[in-house]
Amino acid sequence: MEKPLERVKIAIVGGGPAGIACAIEAKAKGLEPVVVLEKHKEVCYTISKFYKPGKRVDADYRDKNVKPIGLCSFETETKEEFLERINSWIKQWKLDVRLNSEVTNIVKNNGDYEIWVKDKPTFLAEFVIIAIGIFCAPNKPEYPIPSELKNRVFFEPPDVALENKKILVVGGGNTAAEVSLQFCDKNEVHLSYRRPYFFRINETNLNLLYQKEKEEKIKLLLGTDIIQIAPEGEKIKVFFKDETTEFYDVIIYCLGGTTPKNFLKKIGIELDEKGNPILNEHLETNLPKIFLAGDLAVKGGNILKAFNSAHTIIEKITEYEKNRA
Ligand SMILES: Cc1cc2nc3c(=O)[nH]c(=O)nc-3n(C[C@H](O)[C@H](O)[C@H](O)COP(=O)(O)OP(=O)(O)OC[C@H]3O[C@@H](n4cnc5c(N)ncnc54)[C@H](O)[C@@H]3O)c2cc1C
C-alpha cells in the first residue's frame, strides 16, 4: 500500500543558509510542523563543497550595506566556524532536517502542495519555500571516479563531438535516452539502467530507443548495476554487480540534478524574459504560498541577504495565518 503523505505547515526545499534561517524564523513564530529537505547528506552543501578549508566567510560579501533584519546573523568567521554555527542552530531550535532528500517536483493538490522527494510524493504542505540556491550540481554515482578518467567521464551531456567510440550512458530518464540517441549513429552506445524497465522516459523517446535497439545501434542494459569503474590503458573498465566487466572509451552519467531554472519552470513558477523568477515584495511567486528564498530570490546573493529573505517570507506566512484565524 502507498505510504500516506506526511502533512506539514511549511516544507522548506534546501538546507543552505536560507532554508535553515526560514526554519528558525518559522519556529520562532510557532509555525509547525516545518520540515527542511536537503538533497545532500549534509546541510549547507554549497558552502561545504565550494569554500576552501579555512576560507573566511565575509559578513559583508559583495555588499557592505546589508543589515540583519531577522533572527539570523553572523560576524565574519571561518568556513568551519560558520558550519558549526549552523549545526548548533539546528540543535538549539530542534529543526526537523531530512538529509538525502532531493525534492524533484512540487505539484498542486487541492490548495496544498505535494512535495515529491526522489520522484515520490512524500509531503503535503500548506506553504512551500524553495531555497535551493543557484549552484545545483549534477548527481554523481556513489563509487569514486578515478582522477585519470576525468576527460573520459561526463556528468552532463557533453558538448563535444564523439565518433567511433564505445560509449556507456548511465541513467533511466529522458536525458539518458536523448544522449544515447544523439550519439548512437556515429558510435557504439550501451545504455545502462538499474531498473528492469524504463518508467520515466516519455513515449517518443522510448519508441526511438526501441527502434534503435532493433537496428542494433543501441544496446539496452536493463537491470544492470555498476559498482566500480577503473582506468585500463586507454579504456575504462566497468565492473557490474553481477561480476561481469566491460570496456568503454567514454561514460556519460545522466543521473539528474536539474538547474534551478528548469526546476522552477517544471513546477510552474513564472520567469521573466531574462529567466529570473517573478516575485512580489514578500518573495512570493505566481503560485500562491510558494516562496523563493536566498540566492534564488535576491540579486548579488550573500549569506546575510539569504537570512533576511527568510525573515521577509515568514512575516508574510504569519500574516496569512493571522488572516485565517
Ligand atoms: C566560492 C564562494 C564563496 C562565497 N563566499 C561568501 C562569503 O564569504 N560570504 C557570503 O555572505 N557569501 C558568500 N558566498 C555566497 C553564499 O555562499 C550564498 O549567497 C549562500 O550560500 C546562499 O544561500 P542559499 O541557502 O540561498 O543557497 P545554497 O547555500 O546554495 O544552499 C542551497 C541548498 O539547497 C540544496 N538543494 C539544492 N537542490 C535541492 C533539491 N532539489 N532538493 C533539496 N535540496 C536541494 C543544496 O544541496 C544546498 O544545501 C560565496 C559563494 C561561493 C560560491
To the question of domain 147-253 being in CATH 3.40.50.300, the answer is no
- Answer whether 68 contacts ligand 1 (Cβ < 6 A): no
Q: CB neighbours (10 Å) of residue 101? A: 19
Q: What is the mean pLDDT of the chain?
A: 93
pLDDT at 3: 77
- The atom of ligand 1 lying closest to the CA of 13 is 43
Overall residue count recorded for the chain in this entry: 325
Instruction: Say yes or no: do domains 6-136+258-324 and 147-253 share a fold.
Output: yes
Domain boundaries, the chain: 6-136+258-324, 147-253
Specify the amino acid at residue 307.
Answer: F
CA dihedral 177, 179, 182, 184 (to 10 degrees): -80
Short-list 289, 284, 286, 283, CA closest to 31: 289
Closest residue by Cα to atom 37, ligand 1, is 132
Mutate to test the pocket of ligand 1, among 13, 47, 128, 296 (most ligand atoms within 8 A of CB): 47
Q: Encode pLDDT of 104-140 as tens digits.
A: 999 999 999 999 999 899 999 999 999 999 887 677 8
Closest residue by Cα to atom 16, ligand 1, is 302
- Answer whether 15 contacts ligand 1 (Cβ < 6 A): yes
Q: Encode pLDDT of 43-79 as tens digits.
A: 999 999 888 888 899 999 878 899 999 999 999 999 9
Task: Extract the runs of DSSP E, i.e. beta strands, from 205-301.
Answer: 218-222, 226-232, 235-240, 245-248, 250-253, 290-292
User: Whose grid coordinates read 534564488?
Assistant: 296
- Answer whether 77 contacts ligand 1 (Cβ < 6 A): no
- The atom of ligand 1 lying closest to the CA of 47 is 17
Q: Encode pLDDT of 251-269 as tens digits.
A: 999 887 656 888 898 899 9
Q: Under CATH, which number does the domain 6-136+258-324 receive?
A: 3.50.50.60
- The atom of ligand 1 lying closest to the CA of 293 is 26
Q: Could you please report the per-residue DSSP string of 91-149? A: HHTT--EESS--EEEEEEETTEEEEEETTEEEEEEEEEEE---S-------SS---GGG
- The atom of ligand 1 lying closest to the CA of 14 is 34
Average pLDDT over residues 279-306: 96
